[in-house]
Chains A and B, each alone.
Chain A
Amino acid sequence: ILNVEQSPQSLHVQEGDSTNFTCSFPSSNFYALHWYRWETAKSPEALFVMTLNGDEKKKGRISATLNTKEGYSYLYIKGSQPEDSATYLCAFKHNYGQNFVFGPGTRLSVLP
Chain B
Amino acid sequence: DAKTTQPPSMDCAEGRAANLPCNHSTISGNEYVYWYRQIHSQGPQYIIHGLKNNETNEMASLIITEDRKSSTLILPHATLRDTAVYYCIVRVLSGGGADGLTFGKGTHLIIQP
A and B physically associate = no
Interface positions of B (Cβ within 8 A of A): none
Interface positions of A (Cβ within 8 A of B): none
